[in-house]
Structure formats: C-alpha cells, structure tokens
Structure 1
Amino acid sequence: MPQIIFLLSLFLNFLGPAPTVNVACVGDSITYGAGMANREKNAYPRILQEMLGEAYAVNNFGVNGRTALHRGDYPYTETEAYQQALKSEPDLVFIMLGTNDSKLQNRRHLADLDADYRALIRSFQELKSDPRIVLLLPPAAAFLEDTSSIWDPVIRQQIKPVIQQIAYEEELELIDLYPFFSERPDLMPDKIHPSSLGAARIARRLYETVKMERKLPDLPLRKRLSESGEAFNYHGYQGKKLEINGRESRIVQPKWTAPGNPWVWRARFWGHEPQTDIALLERGFHLVYTDVAGLFGSPEAVRIWDDFYASMVTAGLSERVALEGMSRGGLIIYNWALANPEKVAAIYADAPVLDFKSWPAGKGTGKGSPNDWKKCMAAYGFENEAEALAYLGNPVDQAARLAALEIPLLHVSGLADEVVPFAENTGLLAERIRQQGGAIRTINKEGIGHHPHSLKEPTPIVNFILEAYGMLPNLAIVPQPAAEYRSAAGWPEGCDWHCNHEDINRLLSNSTEVDIVFLGNSITQGTGGQRESVTYQPGQEAFSRAFAKYHWINAGISGDRTEHLLWRLQNGPYREAHPKVMVVTIGVNNFAHNSAAEIADGILAIDRYLTAHLPETRLIISGPLPTGLQPDSEQRKKYEAVHEALAAELPSDHYYPIGKEWLLPSGELHPEFFSKDGIHLARAGYVAWAEALQEIVDQLMK
C-alpha cells in the first residue's frame, strides 16, 4: 500500500497542480475600490479572491473615472490596466462600466456607447483563452443630486438599456447590481461608490455566479421557441410571445439553465416590478406567463393552467414550478396549487387577492370593483350574488389544507392596502395557517398601499425561491474576510476589521502557553483583554476576575459571522498558539442573512475545522447566546432552531449552550443581563457569562 501511495503521488506531481482559473475584473472606480476603507483588502475583486481560494486568480483591473465610451473624457481602453487585462488571458471576465459615461461631458457621445461597448467585449472574445464574459449593470447612483456629474436617470434610462440590448443580441450573461444599492444609502457613503460592506455584497453575488452549476439550455423548449412566436428583449434575455392552447403566453429563456430546469410562473401583470424575475433569470430559471386575467382563479382558469403546465413539462421544464402572483394573480396561483400541490415548489404572492368577497366584491373594508365582480361571478358560474357570497372555496378558506401540504409560502404586502386589504387577505390566511400549525413567511411593508409591489431589492424573495428548489448557496460555510470598517463597532478611529484581525494575530504570535482563546463577535470582543483595537469593554472586569489565573486571549471581532470566523482560523496563527481551550460563541450576526439550518452548518464547519487542525485543544462550542426579547419573536425562534440542530450534530463534549438559564420564567430575556436590542450583554450579563464559562473551563483544565 505505501508503494501505491508513493507512485500515485509521483503521478499527481507529474500532472502538476490543478490549473488556475484566471478572473479579470474590468471596470472603473467601483471595481478599483475608490473611497472605501482599506481598498487593497476590501475592493470586491480581493474579497472574491478570498472566497474562491487558491484555485482562482482574481485580478483587479479597475481604473478610476474611466468610461466605456472611446470619446469619453477618460476612456478605459486607453489604460494600461486594459492592456494587462487582455494579456492575462482570462478564463472569466466581469465587465462593469457605464457609471462615468453618465457624466454631463460624456452624455453627448452616448450614441456611440453601443459600438464602443461591443468593441470592448469583442477584444476579450478574440483572446485564445475564449473567456466566459459576464456584464455587470452598474449600481444605482440614486442618492447623488448633482445632475452635471454621475446621474442616476441616465444610468437607468439610457445606459442600462444599451448594455441589456448588447447582452440580448450577443447572448451574454448579465448581473443587475442596480437593485443592490437602490435603497441602501448606508452602503454608498459618498453616494457613488460602495463602501467596503457594499463591495462585500458584490463579491458574494459574483461568487454565486462563479460557483453555480450551469448547463446549456438544450431543452426541447429552446428548439420550439426558435421556430415560432414573436421575439422580444426582456431586460437582456431572449423572450417569445406566442399562443399556447389558445391563450396569449410569454416565455423568457435564461442564458444557461440551472440543474433540474427550474422555472417561475407569473400569473398576472406581465413585466410589472420585474426585479425578482430578472434575478431568477440570472440564476438559470425560465420565466413563463399565460393570461387568464378575466377568470379570477375559477375552475376554467385552473383547467387552462393544467394544459399549459403539461406543455411546459413536455418541453423539458421541471415538474415542480415556483408560482408568482400579484394582486388578483393570488387567486389563480393558490387555486391551481391546491389542485396540483405535488407540482408546486413554492408560492410567492404579492399583495394577493385571496378572497373574492374582499376584492372585487368589496364586501369588507375595501372599495371593490363592481364591473370585475360581475365578471368574477360569471367566471365561476354563480347565478346570483348570494350564491357567490356563500362560496367557501377561496384560498382563505383553505388554510388547513395549505398548512398540511407544507408548500413554502412567502407573501409581500402593504399594510395600508385599501384595494386588497391586508387583514382580509394575507393577514387572515397567515393567521389561519399558523393556527393550524403551518408556516408562512410574510414581509409586511408599513405605510404602503396596494402599490408598489415586490421589493426594489428582491434578494429575500429570490433566496426564498432558491431555497425551495435546494439551490440557495450557504455562504455561512464559505470562508471570507469581513469588510466592517465603522468605529461604531467599538474600535478606535481608523481601525477596521483587518486591523482587529492583525491585532489578534499579534497577541497569538507573541504568546506562549495560551490557556484560553475566546472566539466570537462583538459580544466576545466586549471582554477586552489585552486588545489595543477595542474601545468598548463592558466585560473586561468580569472576565479578568473569572480567568485571572489563566493566560487568555480575546479573539472576538464585532459583526463577525461564521464565515468570517472560518476565514480567521485559516489565516491566523491559532494552531501555532496551541491553546488548551477554545470558546466559540458565534452565529447571531448570521440571523439576518441565513436560515437556522445554514447557521448551524456554519458553526459545525468551525467545529470540524478546529477538531481537525487543533486536535488537542478542548472545545466549548456555545453557538449564539440567547437573543430575541420575547419568546415568540423571530429572533428567538431562529435561536431555538439553531440550537436544536447543534444539539443533534455536535459532539456532546463540545456543545455547551450557555445562557438558557438567563431567561425569565415568562421566556423573556433577563432585563439586567441584556441590552435593549435583545442581543448584546449588559455588564451583569458578562458576569453571568464569565461565571458559567469559568465553571466549565476549570473542569476542562483539570
């Protein structure tokens, strides 16, 4: 056996290391990282490099102020970075230009943008490396008011459509970054350039693009669409308008298909608030629509949908479909799902009609629509209004069935909706489903009426659908550096996340006989210790007293999530320090970004890494400390779900769910132990935490 292993190693050495995938990030100051803290480490190409790892070489070819226009004030094609990008013979090229083309002095040349942008693309297409090319639509500049400078209306109305038309004709991939920043001025401190936190968002999205499994759209549907229908450009994607089974229909194809050929089926209002649809096309979903607008989800509408579904599955699409219904579209998606539950992957309903007595009848608090009410009664075949009002087949009447079917449900609704009142539709259905022990996710928009639908930044909706198909990547297990930079994190001015990482590494490197390393986020950071980079230390006194006889190091960094801690462990001298005990308290900062299962997987990945690389270190894995002021809060529910998963998977001698004893008999967080945010510890909480840990550490040290 040793001889076989030796020969195998010789063979692998002969083959050489695995080839590196060269990635070229082409762009302007947004790619370069202008204006952000610690650009060299926080520009999105650098973060992407850290996420992708050694098998990739990600190069930043961004140059400040550059235009795609050849006659712009500072053309990108005249830069040394452009020449270096070509010489790098990339396997993958991300191109993000157009922001500076919106400046007043460049607008007079916008007629050239199509030709100049195509020439730039062609220069990469002609390389021997034959790279995959992905066009990035520039982020929003919606917060800048100087119309002579970069101007958002020009980006949105003139530049984006040109790039989308090129992508449509050249069949190039697109990623729309515009929505990412359209409502997030906090991620654009100077109103133009993303902060390091904004750059991290871009990097995570591009990581998905690089790693997502793709296949060519070689379905029977593709051939069928090439032979019939009226072609149209749907935001850069190939669309066809055609008649299927006698109904007006539309089908939009992605540039490539995701495994299983997933699709989203829109019920009504084609093209309205398309953010979610575009984001799913980016990820390999087909988008389809067939018009049953005047049938109000009646049995006839369900029959038409049955026929359309059969034609789509025969053409190669998945047998399970994600349903999307806005307003009156809610009736058809729910009625069809109840008739065909095994065919439904998920339901996304947006300000949906769920009871025709509410709309169009207007028998509740809404105004209704008399003309539509007549059409609705006719579609269902009711002889009179009394018969219609006695009908108990509306979606709100089917809560028990929906709860039992366990179809993933997401509703987005305006709480001030006077057309389709929330309380009579989504609110009522959600209440009944939960009473039956079922689950439904709701995103309720305060002060918003029936319009606008959807979310400008559709990530929560997109992730919901990806999760339903088992396609949502778990970034909580992908090691990556954080990009936090703000002094509000408890750091001195000018000290960012990397400064803290280096401060911890210094302590580890300069220490001998380390007894304890406390790993975590801001809660752990608050224990103070010898950290020079921490200004807020509410737990210093309690931890110094409890662990006075030990040499301990505080390795907590504010804002850290599981993925950041994984990266720190792999890029810091933790193994060389040989700590006797490591205390890991992590996960609460993942709550806004990940499901309970994903968070638990991130914590388990940390445990596996430590077990493999520090086998003689005793581990105290706490997961997140209690959070959520009330026992029925979403924070508390996620906390409980994370710990349920950890209890089932972690070795019993690693798992220490500290803090459950700090809850009041009512289930509320102890007000003396926790701050008002229901997350961070007060000084009394640090005392309780130190005492609980001291007992465990003393026992392990024996």
Structure 2
Amino acid sequence: MIKNLLSICIKWILIMLSTITILFAQSKGKIYCIGQEFTTGSAMFMPEKNNFPAQLGGMFGKDYQVFLNGKDVVTNAPISIDNHVLKHLDDLNIKKGDFLILDLNHDVDFSQGDDSKLLKNITSSINKGARVVLLHTPSNSYEKQQLSARIQLQTLAFKSNCEIVDLSPALYGGDAYLDKEKRLTSIGASFVAKRLYELIKTPVTGASRIKIKNGKRESFYGFSSETFDFEGKEARVVKPKIVAKGSPWIWRARFWGHEPQLDIAMLERGYHIVYCDVSELFGNEESLQIWNNFYKFLQQFGLNKKAVMEGMSRGGVYIYNWALRYPDRVSAIYADAPVLNFKSWPGGQGKGKGSPENWEIFKQVYKLTEQQALNFKDAPVDRASEIGALKIPSIHVVGDVDDIVPPDENTLPFAKAYIAAGGKLEIIHKPTVGHHPHSLADPTPLVDFLLRADGRKLNFAAIAAAGSEYRSGAGWSPNMGWWGENDDINRILDSKKQQLDILFVGNSITQGIGGTRSHLPYKPGYTAFESVFSSYKWDCAGIAGDRTQHVLWRLINGKYKEAAPKVVVVTIGVNNFLDGDTAEEIVAGILEIKKWIRTNMKNSKLILTGPLPVGVESTDPRRRKYEDIHRLLAIQAKDQCWIYAPLSDTFIKADGNLSLDDYSTDGIHLSGGYTKWAQSLSKIIQKALGE
C-alpha cells in the first residue's frame, strides 16, 4: 500500500516537473518590431534574411521570439492582428518582459492626432510591464522635416516615458550602412540588430531614484531633466528611462548641452547625466569643494561611487583636478579639446591665441600675480605623471589644427607623461578640425570606450551572428550575397560527409583559396593550395567580410559537425578590426570558435592561426593589435587540445615590414603570398595527421 502510494506520488511529481519545464520553455520573451521600409528592409538585398528583426532573431536564437509586423521572423507564423499594427497595439497581447520596438518615422501623422492614440497604447504597454522603444531613423526627407520628426518622437518619449534610441548619428557615419537614397542596407541592419541586442541584454534595475525638490522638469531630447539650485549654483540631473545595473553616471563639467550626442547615447544605455555649474573657477579649490558637496548630495540616491568625467575645452582642467583629488570617485575620463596647460590657454604663451580676459580671471580665482601665473606648476599637464599613475582609463578627442587649445601644448605632452606613468589614454585625432566642433558626429567610439572602462561593453566578437555582406566587391557571383555563399558551403559539406581531410575556414583571404566552390569567379590562391595539398581531399569555407562571430554562427548552424573533416584550419579576426574590437575581444571570439569545435567536432584536429599579419609597414597601428592578439593567443596555446600556428615568421621580414610580393597594398589581402601560406601550413597539417 505504502509502496503504491509512493509510486503514485513520484509519478505525479515527475508529471508536474515535466509540465513546469514545458511551460518554462514556452514562456520565452517576445520582441515585437513594428515599422515600414526601415524595419522590413524592403529595399535591401534578401530582406527576409537581412532585415534587422531577422538578424536580431538570429542573434537571440531560442531566448526570444521576434515578430515583424505580426509575423514570427523564424517561422513566419502570423499572430492575430491586421497589418495596421500602429492602431492595434493592444491586440499584440503584450506581457511583462516583452519588448515593443517602434519605427514611427514614416508611419505617424502627428498633425492628425496619431500621437495621442500612440501615447495611449504605449502607456498601456508600459503599464503591463513591457519595454517600449522608439527608434529615430535616417530619412531622405528634407532636413527641416527630419528635425521635426525627431522633436515629435522625443516629445512622445517624454510624455509616455518610453525609451528612445537615436540611430541616425551612427547610421549616417557608418560605412555602407545606408544606400544612396538613405535607405537601410543589410550591413546597416546588422548595426541596428546589435544595438537592440545590447539594449535588451543590458542588466537594468528600474526607474531612477533621484527626486529633486522644487526642480524645473523639462525634456532633454526625450529624457526627463531637472534643473535646480544647489548652494547657489545651477545644477541639472537627467534621468535615463531605465537605470542600468550599478547606477552608472556621467558628470559633465562645462558647457551644458553643447554637442550632446554622447550624453544622449549614454542616457539610452541607462546612465544618468549630471551637471553642477562652477564656471570660471578653473578647477580651483572652491570649485572642488562645491563639487564634493554635490557628489555627496547625489550619493544619497544610490548612484555608483564612481562617475565618468566629461570635460570639453576648459572643462578638461576641472575633471583632471577632480580625478587627482578623488581618484576613487572616477571610473573613466572623456576630455574633448581639453585645456590642460594654463600658460597655453588662457595665457597664450605658446602658439595658441589665448584669452586675456580669462587669463585675468584665472589669476584672480587662483590668487596669483602675473609672475606667479607664468611660473604656475599645478596644471594637469604638470601633474600628468601623477594622474597617469592612478590608471584611470582616459580618452581625448582633439582637432589637429586647433589654434585655441593647441594639442601639442596640451593633450600631446600630457598623454606622453600619462602613458609613461602606466596610464591608459587613447587619442582620437580630427586632422582638419580646429577647436570646434567638439565631440564626434557619431559618438560610437566614445561610447564603446566608456562602456569598456565601466566593464559594461558587450563583446559582439564572441556572440554568434549571421553575416550580411552583399556587395559585389566580396568576389561572389551575382545575387549570391553572404547567405548564398553560406548555403553553397553547407551544400559542399553535406555532399562530403566523412570524406574531407582538410577544411580551411575563414574570411576573404581563405575564400581566395576557392576549393570546389561554384560561385567564386576569383580564386587567387587555388593553384598554390592545390599544388601543395593535391594528395589530400580539401575544401574551402571562407566567406568575405566574416568576423569571428560570423564563423561561430556558421559552425553552430551549418553542416561542419556532420562533415567531420580530419583537420580544420581557422584563420579569422582581421575584419573585427573594422568594428573597433579590441585584441582581448577578438581573442575571446576566436576562443569561442575553438570551444565549439573542440566540443562538437572532437575527432577533428583544430589548427588556429588567428589573423594573418596585417599592415605593410611595422609602424601601421593595426600591427600593434595583431601583435596583442597573438600575445594573448600564445598564452592560451598551453591548451593541448588544439594547435596554435601563428604565421608571423612566414610573412614578416627582418625589418618588420611585409613584402608587396606577398601582400596587396591594403596590408590585409594576399597577392603572391598564397604559396608561402600553403607551404607553411603543409608541415603543420602533416604533423596533425600524424604523417
């Protein structure tokens, strides 16, 4: 009796656990993408594969179900709403944890009251626990119309408290993101998918805890801004829609609202932006004391102990003086055309114009005579070694022809001492720009630097994603595109299961080997590789433009495991340079590839070469990154389950340069170097095969 009862209980528990598992598997989040041409990608190559909802779905895999105007981007299964989705958002069955991505630039006639209807629907979705994101996208309309659309979207975001993401700066600034008619390309859609993936994956904590008494509330580009008095000084706090985990923030030193693109981008990512006006105190003791009090005031609201300090022009003095006084309160520094040397500006003692009026103010607030001011040794440029020793990540943007705050009197000597003391400082040069305009039209490089410094940057080099290249310069037959080449490779692998001795995997350099690929008119390396490997059954799985993440996606979703070649040679990583990925990020991507192959293709010998040498001259900035990648890979090479085969000695001459007999002038692609490459790999492959 007891045994029967126990058996029934166990069966009941197992059934319940099975039911819970099924329910949990079915409860994955949903992402609803709604819009017209920008979202559907109707003007791009292979939109059903390349529009950003499809790419986003590919990146998330089973974690989220992505819908495009009512259809599942994977199964194309419709959900029960009609095509006029903007007026029927309630029919989407939005639930807590879902995302609603709205591209409204061409869908909403604000003059007809559509904004009030949207406001009601958006508010309803937010109240259900969903996150609603408005996209501001590029347009081929007149500049005045574009500005009007942006303001209307920002107003809608402010009223509804929904999120807003401005994609225009990056898309206008990116290579090949838009076509001639300002329509999104498949490559641009990759950027959008990555940006939304970042938004969705960023850990958040909820609404801002900051509450200001007697503050003036207004919109700061769609975000809630409070202006208030703090100890007789004007202060401002701008709140993100949703606060990122850890409550990060940026402290802007001077010139509130000027060139705000970085501030807007960081607000989108869950950062607060704060300001306390201590203008014309030049970072002196009084200004530091006011800021110290302001810092303590902000800490009661739970902001992170460390802030990113942002200083334009004379703001550079403020942020570096603050970092010297309170290094434990600074996570990173962004300085734009910064004043770091008072004798240069406002003193005008060098080749800069100077400012007699501000020179007098400087002497007054520091209580200096003329001679004392000329002998002043307490500016950031004088204390650069001290600041560098603090090892605070710092990035500067300078105009190389700045005649107001000349870089060679400010940033350049400062950076030399800063780096020599062990500090990390990057400089973005604008070759033909003077003191203005500040910042960058596309703030992406600044955003990425600051996110890395804060430990918040997603490493897309290690997140599997399909490629989206489509341009004829990739060396493919007409109308193939990345997907066509991927399908061709899988067809070959499927037809050669258990037959291949060697499979070469990589990007355009590997693609040049050709193999039996039928849609590659240009195979510059085929003859060299066939002459060396003619006794083997080999083939080529290189696709032009591929990054580490694309190879990883191909491995996971392709026929590589079933093909089971005896040896897999992977040469990848150089195209990640174009995305600004760091050496550490690229290596992480390569190691994800290694991990997948060793887990899923255990009978295949793996040879990793990393990227081939890059940069014709040894002084090429790309060479440093190449060297850093291989330094990191060499550390990992102690793992005996794969073969590390750097080919530096094969291509780099005694003087450190590359030969133009081997390389094209871009310092990336091979010309005659395929023979050397094949010969170098031959010995390694023979050893791997036990020959």
**Structure-1 separation of matches of 2:483 and 2:216:** 54
Letter in 1 for 2:135: L
Cross-structure match for 2:388: 403
**Structure-1 separation of matches of 2:429 and 2:41:** 35
Deviation at 1:417, TM superposition (A): 0.9
Q: Is the Cα contact below 8 Å between 1:261 and 1:317 reproduced in 2?
A: yes
Deviation at 1:313, TM superposition (A): 1.9
| Unaligned stretches of 5+ residues in structure 1 | 64-76, 102-108, 145-149
Query: Which piece of structure 1 moves more, 282-291 or 385-394?
Result: 385-394
1:517 aligned to 492, 499, 503, which one? 503
Cross-structure match for 2:60: 52
SS in structure 1 of the partner of residue 614 of structure 2: coil
Alignment of 1:80-91 (within 5 A): 80=84, 87-90=91-94, 91=98
Cross-structure match for 1:72: none
**Structure-2 separation of matches of 1:622 and 1:686:** 14
**Structure-1 separation of matches of 2:627 and 2:295:** 40
**Structure-2 separation of matches of 1:5 and 1:97:** 54
Q: Is the Cα contact below 8 Å between 1:139 and 1:179 reproduced in 2?
A: no
SS in structure 1 of the partner of residue 536 of structure 2: coil
1:180 aligned to 170, 184, 191, which one? 170
Deviation at 1:274, TM superposition (A): 0.6
The answer to whether 1:99 aligns with 2:106 is yes
**Structure-1 separation of matches of 2:331 and 2:125:** 42
Deviation at 1:282, TM superposition (A): 0.8
**Structure-1 separation of matches of 2:201 and 2:110:** 35
Cross-structure match for 1:205: 195
Letter in 2 for 1:92: F
SS in structure 2 of the partner of residue 362 of structure 1: coil
Deviation at 1:92, TM superposition (A): 1.6
**Structure-2 separation of matches of 1:426 and 1:55:** 46
**Identical aligned residues as a percent:** 40
Deviation at 1:485, TM superposition (A): 0.3
**Structure-2 separation of matches of 1:294 and 1:83:** 52
Cross-structure match for 2:156: 166
SS in structure 1 of the partner of residue 677 of structure 2: helix
Cross-structure match for 1:654: 642
Deviation at 1:173, TM superposition (A): 0.9
- CA 1:85 to 1:541, structure 2 compared with 1: closer, same or farther past 3 Å? farther
Cross-structure match for 2:602: 615
Deviation at 1:61, TM superposition (A): 1.2
Cross-structure match for 2:74: none
Cross-structure match for 1:644: 631
**Structure-1 separation of matches of 2:126 and 2:489:** 45
Letter in 2 for 1:572: G
- CA 1:528 to 1:55, structure 2 compared with 1: closer, same or farther past 3 Å? same
Q: Is the Cα contact below 8 Å between 1:279 and 1:462 reproduced in 2?
A: yes
Cross-structure match for 2:75: none
Alignment of 1:474-493 (within 5 A): 474-493=459-478
Cross-structure match for 1:682: 671
**Structure-1 separation of matches of 2:411 and 2:329:** 23
SS in structure 1 of the partner of residue 128 of structure 2: coil
Deviation per CA, 1:417-465: give whole Å up to 9, x if none: 1111121111222233344454310110011111111111111101111
The answer to whether 1:388 aligns with 2:373 is yes
Cross-structure match for 1:294: 280
**Structure-1 separation of matches of 2:445 and 2:453:** 12
Deviation at 1:99, TM superposition (A): 3.5
**Structure-2 separation of matches of 1:603 and 1:212:** 23
Cross-structure match for 2:132: 134
- CA 1:696 to 1:12, structure 2 compared with 1: closer, same or farther past 3 Å? farther
- CA 1:127 to 1:466, structure 2 compared with 1: closer, same or farther past 3 Å? closer
**Structure-1 separation of matches of 2:364 and 2:660:** 59
Cross-structure match for 2:76: none
Deviation per CA, 1:143-196: give whole Å up to 9, x if none: x4xxxxx3232122x121121112112211111112122334732213231100
**Structure-1 separation of matches of 2:197 and 2:127:** 21
The answer to whether 1:20 aligns with 2:20 is no
Deviation per CA, 1:24-45: give whole Å up to 9, x if none: 1111111010210111100000
**Structure-2 separation of matches of 1:206 and 1:163:** 18
Q: Is the Cα contact below 8 Å between 2:125 and 2:132 reproduced in 1?
A: no
Deviation per CA, 1:210-240: give whole Å up to 9, x if none: 1111111353xx2x32x33111211111111
Deviation per CA, 1:277-299: give whole Å up to 9, x if none: 01111111110001111111222
Cross-structure match for 2:662: 673
Alignment of 1:406-555 (within 5 A): 406-512=391-497, 513-555=499-541
2:83 aligned to 79, 87, 95, which one? 79
- CA 1:100 to 1:449, structure 2 compared with 1: closer, same or farther past 3 Å? farther
The answer to whether 1:246 aligns with 2:232 is yes
Cross-structure match for 1:354: 340
Cross-structure match for 1:235: 221
Q: Is the Cα contact below 8 Å between 1:217 and 1:257 reproduced in 2?
A: yes
Give the TM-score of the pair, scaled to structure 1: 0.90
Deviation at 1:304, TM superposition (A): 1.9
Q: Is the Cα contact below 8 Å between 2:136 and 2:165 reproduced in 1?
A: no
Deviation at 1:83, TM superposition (A): 7.5
Letter in 1 for 2:370: E
Deviation at 1:636, TM superposition (A): 1.4
Cross-structure match for 2:183: 193
Query: Which piece of structure 1 moves more, 10-19 or 399-408?
Result: 10-19
**Structure-2 separation of matches of 1:11 and 1:574:** 38
- CA 1:234 to 1:80, structure 2 compared with 1: closer, same or farther past 3 Å? closer
**Structure-2 separation of matches of 1:572 and 1:602:** 18
SS in structure 1 of the partner of residue 351 of structure 2: coil
- CA 1:436 to 1:671, structure 2 compared with 1: closer, same or farther past 3 Å? farther
Q: Is the Cα contact below 8 Å between 1:281 and 1:287 reproduced in 2?
A: yes
**Structure-2 separation of matches of 1:554 and 1:258:** 44
Query: Which piece of structure 1 moves more, 648-657 or 123-132?
Result: 123-132
Deviation at 1:670, TM superposition (A): 3.2
**Structure-2 separation of matches of 1:33 and 1:13:** 40
- CA 1:131 to 1:29, structure 2 compared with 1: closer, same or farther past 3 Å? farther
Q: Is the Cα contact below 8 Å between 2:392 and 2:423 reproduced in 1?
A: no
Cross-structure match for 1:105: none
Deviation at 1:334, TM superposition (A): 0.7
Deviation at 1:649, TM superposition (A): 2.4
Q: Is the Cα contact below 8 Å between 1:501 and 1:568 reproduced in 2?
A: yes
**Structure-1 separation of matches of 2:427 and 2:135:** 30
Deviation at 1:491, TM superposition (A): 1.1
Give the TM-score of the pair, scaled to structure 2: 0.92
Deviation at 1:132, TM superposition (A): 2.0
Query: Which piece of structure 1 moves more, 491-500 or 345-354?
Result: 491-500
**Structure-2 separation of matches of 1:62 and 1:30:** 16
Deviation per CA, 1:656-680: give whole Å up to 9, x if none: 2332102122222233222211111
**Structure-1 separation of matches of 2:631 and 2:538:** 30
Q: Is the Cα contact below 8 Å between 1:99 and 1:138 reproduced in 2?
A: no
Cross-structure match for 2:78: none
**Structure-1 separation of matches of 2:387 and 2:584:** 23
- CA 1:60 to 1:229, structure 2 compared with 1: closer, same or farther past 3 Å? same
How many residues are matched? 664
SS in structure 1 of the partner of residue 101 of structure 2: strand
Deviation at 1:8, TM superposition (A): 8.9
**Structure-1 separation of matches of 2:228 and 2:161:** 21
Cross-structure match for 1:120: 118
Q: Is the Cα contact below 8 Å between 1:37 and 1:196 reproduced in 2?
A: yes
Deviation per CA, 1:628-650: give whole Å up to 9, x if none: 23334321111122122222224
**Structure-2 separation of matches of 1:483 and 1:152:** 29
Cross-structure match for 2:77: none
- CA 1:449 to 1:245, structure 2 compared with 1: closer, same or farther past 3 Å? same
**Structure-2 separation of matches of 1:127 and 1:78:** 18
Query: Which piece of structure 1 moves more, 90-99 or 456-465?
Result: 90-99
